[in-house]
Structure 1
């Protein structure tokens, strides 16, 4: 369902989000600064994180929307960086087990239809000791903020983009990975989580 919605808005998606870039781009830069080695970004969208990856990262990127991925490819070309792009869903990623050193998710789990399955896929793909990085919209630390800000946002974004800003992705991460760092920003409306894959 969400794919055609994102295909529909891909051409002007960056324009819609432009007022938020001053808040989110520094967090995107901080999030991907933790990436090392062979790295996968799921839900790359129009490629807003691409300018911030450290040099030396072998970067792969997937998105369920072909139109959004076209925008990301254009951005990568303009930046002069090599990215292996593929159309794929977060719940079914076309890579072998233990393939990546790092997996990045930036403002994705508020939209993923089956977040538990997507989290299990990330765990499958990560090498033992690999790092999962999440920069996500989440339920805040304040019931008042949730009620006055996030709930109205959900009423707009859910039908438009299947986006649910009230999800508790930060709790879900802890069920699959060992959380090493969690930062709440803007009252927990956005969280940056760095977690380790402790496979036996």
Structure 2
């Protein structure tokens, strides 16, 4: 995967993305991700890889100060159609290189993005950087605890479609957990635990 390829792939996905990933089990899983999240009016919230805005439709976005970024202009265009002008700041941006200040957001939300970007370590480090101290990161994504032989064979093929089925969350957080972040929740939400909701607080235990 690389940025140029992903931009082309998600140009193709953009008109039909909601049909596959914002209904049925995916919609049910997205709702679980936001269960119990205590947004307060005025909170600064960053959506990384906002796509077509599927997650934004599940929250009271009018009460929040929201920045929503995506690398694909076509996906952002689909998202903008759903919301009144001026209510959400949509910006085209690379999740691996956020042009945003340190410690800026109360919540950083990343749905189905760490398994998509070429360098998940860089994207995760950027998430941590822009989150306020004691702020929270909410992740909804697919992770492989221990890839099977079949998954190892399929992994390079599936990557061509713009996603990684072999990403290990445990390896991703290893150098950060306990020093800069604390795992608060880690729950399966779909496909027998392949898709997980992970809630992280920025700060030591």
Range of TM-score over shorter length? 0.7 to 0.9
The alpha-carbon deviation at position 46 of structure 1 amounts to 1.0
In 2, distance between residues paired with 1:106 and 1:116? 15
* 2:83 match: 76
**Per-residue CA distance 1:107-141 (angstroms, 9 max, x = gap):** 11111111111111111101100100000111156
The alpha-carbon deviation at position 51 of structure 1 amounts to 1.2
* 1:168 match: 168
The alpha-carbon deviation at position 147 of structure 1 amounts to 4.6
Ranges in structure 1 where 5+ consecutive residues have no aligned partner: none
Query: Relative to structure 1, is the Cα distance of residues 153 and 58 closer, same or farther in structure 2, using a 3 angstrom cutoff?
Result: farther
* 1:86 match: 91
In 2, distance between residues paired with 1:4 and 1:12? 14
**Per-residue CA distance 1:36-84 (angstroms, 9 max, x = gap):** 311001001111111112452221100000001100111224xx88211
Query: Relative to structure 1, is the Cα distance of residues 35 and 164 closer, same or farther in structure 2, using a 3 angstrom cutoff?
Result: farther
Ranges in structure 2 where 5+ consecutive residues have no aligned partner: none
Is 1:67 the counterpart of 2:74? The answer is yes
- TM-score, normalised via structure 1 length: 0.84
In 2, distance between residues paired with 1:171 and 1:84? 32
- TM-score, normalised via structure 2 length: 0.82
- The answer to whether the 8 Å contact 2:114/2:124 transfers is no
- Pairing partner for 2:199 from 181, 194, 199: 194
* 1:26 match: 28
* 1:116 match: 121
The alpha-carbon deviation at position 3 of structure 1 amounts to 1.2
Query: Relative to structure 1, is the Cα distance of residues 81 and 32 closer, same or farther in structure 2, using a 3 angstrom cutoff?
Result: farther
* 2:100 match: 95
Aligned length: 190
